[in-house]
Structure 1
Amino acid sequence: MRSGTAMRLPLDRPARSLGSRGRKLGVALALGALLASGTAMTLAAPAVAATGDITCPSTACVQVAPGAGSPVAIAPDNAGSAYLAYSGGDLLKLDLATGTLTTITTGLGNLRGVAVADGSAYLTSFDGRLQQVTLATGSRRTLAAGLPSLFGVTRAGSTTYVTDGNGEIVAVPDGGTARVVATGLGFSYGIAFDKAGLAYTADMMTGRILQTNVTTGATRSLVTQSYEPTSISVGDDGLVYFMVAGEVKRVNPATGVQSHVTNLVGINSFSFSLAASGDAYTTGSGNDGLWRIVGLTAR
């Protein structure tokens, strides 16, 4: 079922906002061009919240960083901080307790995704680069370049996995060469792994939630015809969480059974990042900063 909740693509931090031109996304493959240009997408918003919805602001939806603008990607480190990537090329650290923002580095290009592991941030960009930034110093190095436009990114062991605009998962092992490990996945803005080492992506073109064995390349659909899913996370409960407009849903990968979690009302949320605590972090419309969705996986 299509949610009526409004959705707007995140653009940038306040000082570098690219502005919106209000173009609606026609098909999911066009999203890459929209993201590159900074174009916004908007769907009609409901007038009132229904029972079970999360209204922002509220005790269940707390604004934690009003000055954070609209990062294109968020990576909680599960140690009290979150790292924010912006399309203008900035990487910021947010202290979740105080709301303090610190710039780690700038000039990283047209960023699209961020993952944090072992003292480093791993960042994808629209120009096909995968970069590693040491969080303590801000020093950077390029792990791969010349690839198709890159979007989702995550770490599994000593390998970085990314999704690209060609519908592929690309593996970049530490000290190794980038190689395609799965194809035919459509357009996924994110990627997540479960504890068994299986990867999950959300195809905005066909509405599929996909499970992929990155060793064999074998893929199966857990969900089909879900309207333009824009977010993908795996909770500590082993369930796969994703967003359809402003509706959060989850699916049990073992059974394929999906269920409604909640609608986010009062903010135009494009996607969310799930922390180990079960809280989720998302941005709203315009430059209204970062929001914490409290106890999302417990709902």
Structure 2
Amino acid sequence: MRIHHLNTGTMCPIGQRLVNGSGGIFRRARMVCHCLLVESNDGLVLVDTGIGLDDIADPPRLGRRWVRQTTPKLDPAETAVRQVKALGFSPDDVRHLLLTHLDRDHAGGVPDFPKAKVHVHRREYDMAVTHRIAPPEGRYVTAQWQHGPDWAFYGEGGEDWFGFKGVRALDDREADILMIPLPGHTLGHCGIAVRGSDRWVLHAGDAYFHHAQLDARPRVPFVLGLFQRRVDMDRAARIRNQERLRQLKASHGDAVTILSSHDPVDYETCLCAHHLAPAA
């Protein structure tokens, strides 16, 4: 399957050194919303959706505090739907949206693909959509799914994948696209693995924020580490899953490329591996 790497939302918080790990303290950092567009046997599959057109048209719905702190560019050209068109596809060609979780910078583009089936972990849906599990106040932007998407749920049973448990394939036709439970950042947080031409690509969502967190001696810039702890729903689970990702990289780094949603180094490394120029 062919995999396109998209940046569907650039964020520029203050404090480059404390967020990216280098540069000036008073300079703007750069973070991305790294999504995957997969050409599959059943049409296009989008892994996460980034910031959407409705968010850009009405930035306050993202949360005034969030917008103030992250300073997103809010460029329509960066949205997944515009990039899908730029690649020569129709938005209707996108048949499936696989979401690592439903935070605003991951689910914002869901309304831009109203005909697509939206795949999430059941616990994420129960917290963000039905509130059967009470979410933290202000965590989710419910307007991003008010159009009533066609949902598909994961979380019951599953297989093993490189030692990860409860792994479920997209469906019988797509055994090489997998939903992998990685709770911690949210209770229903998942990674999405896609088998490429020569190796797996594991989109680990917000299971980690900085590429150096997967090093043998992990480290994270100060402000990014504070933010990560503040938004954890289950810190112990997130730490355990980061260690599992670290072990996966050490043991199977020749077979699996692991990437984070927001790390620009991961994004640019993937682009270089595919000989592509960054979109933003």
User: Aligning the two structures, in what range does the TM-score lie when normalised by the shorter sequence?
Assistant: 0.3 to 0.5
Q: Which has the higher strand share?
A: 1
TM-score, with normalisation over the residues of structure 1? 0.31
Report which of the two has the higher share of helix. Answer: 2
